[in-house]
Amino acid sequence: MLSHNETVVNGPLAFIGEETGYVPSMRERFLGWNVPPEHSDLVHPHWRGFIAPGKYWHIGFALIYSMLLVMSVVGNCCVIWIFSTSKPLRTASNMFIVSLAIFDIIMAFEMPMLVINSFMERMIGWEIGCDAYAVFGSISGMGQSITNAAIAFDRYRTISCPIDGRLNSKQAAIIIAFTWFWVTPFTVLPLLKVWGRFTTEGLLTTCSFDFLTEDQDTKVFVMSIFIWSYVIPLTFIVYFYSQLLQSIRNHERMLREQAKKMNVKSLVSNQDKERSVELRIAKVAFTIFFLFLLAWTPYATVAMIGAFGNRELLTPISTMLPALFAKTVSCIDPWIYAINHPRYRQELQKRCKWMGIHEPETTHDSASVQTEKIKSDDA
């Protein structure tokens, strides 16, 4: 475990140039020892109180992120490719899945930077590199959260109002455009340093918004972005899924009462079969929501502790783990679709034989196929 220096460090430690051949002393090997004075603003004094970690920490994170990068690129690119080019899967509901995959891909843009940073043991490009890294994280993180809320809304409309509640493609496109607008304020403002700023965190190889500076503007900024990117989307998600569960309960109760009046064991109709298909898709959405909580609750907790709590709890390693959780979830999302979406598995089987998928042929295995069938019947 990294040791903490109890001495308050008021300024940047001396930067030791490699050309001098000078061996750094113990004091100069605290975090930030290799950051030159002209870039000292990138390192908050809190991190300078910890001894710089051994190379094995950096190499370990580099290896983990390299594997996550491959998983994310393969999984999310397959989702975007198949859902965009397969006619049965090009539905309004699946537009949100594609949008979520795009946000996940944007998060993957950070990973090559972190691998390079880990081997260099500092932020490549200094302030510019830090801003680029943080912008990718801001867009993808807030985009994932509000897109999960949009998916919850779509599932609620589709299942609760199967006849006239489905979103059409234009409505879905408007909501997706809104999700991109949603990420703009708290990405542009700190980037331009109008309100808040981006800075290094943890092992100084990643960047996020500043949650450690002791001033009122920073505290208000942290609280605002916490509400904007976490509380509001989470509130929407909980509300729509709770309404969805209530609708399912009401529907099942109605079927039981009707069956009892007709003296039959159960009532099964084509609409109910379609509804069960939609419920399977809703389970996927529930799973993604659960992963969303695992990904962003730790990060939100770290930010709130940094701004309002006991900062001694925030060690370099403990603040790297929430970022690792978030990256991991962005890689898992597309594989959740592969596990739970039969039509998607069929397309993978046809186009990516190297994956070794063996899915039985069926024509009524997803909400997307059912939607296409309804449209063709109506025509």
Mean pLDDT, the chain, rounded, equals 79
Q: Determine the pLDDT at residue 16.
A: 45
What was the pLDDT predicted at 138? Answer: 93
Distance between CA atoms of residues 189 and 362, nearest Å: 50
H helices of 168-269, in order, are: 169-182, 185-191, 216-226, 232-262
Give the Cβ contact number of residue 4 at 10 Å: 14
- Domain parsing of the chain, residue ranges: 42-349
Asked if 48 and 7 touch (Cβ cutoff 8 Å), the reply is no
Counts of helices then strands in the chain (DSSP H, E):
12, 2
Query: For residue 241, what are its two tokens?
Result: 């899924």
pLDDT band at 13 (very low <50, low <70, confident <90, very high): very low
Which percentage of the chain shows pLDDT scores above 70?
A: 75
Q: Could you tell me where the beta strands, DSSP code E, fall in 15-134?
A: none
Q: What mean pLDDT do residues 357-375 have?
A: 47
**pLDDT (tens digit, 9 = 90+) per residue, 37-58?**
888 888 989 898 888 888 899 9
What is 42-349's CATH number, 3.40.190.10, 2.30.130.10, 1.20.1070.10, 3.40.120.10? Answer: 1.20.1070.10
- The reported pLDDT for the residue numbered 370 is 42
> Residues 99-108, buried b or exposed e (16+ Cβ, 10 A)?
bbbbbbbbbb
Cβ atoms of 60 and 320 closer than 8 Å: no
Q: What is the mean pLDDT of residues 99-122?
A: 91
The residue-averaged pLDDT of 200-215 equals: 90
Taking residues 209-227, what's their average pLDDT?
A: 92
User: Where does residue 351 fall: left (phi above 0), alpha (psi -120 to 50 degrees), or beta otherwise?
Assistant: alpha
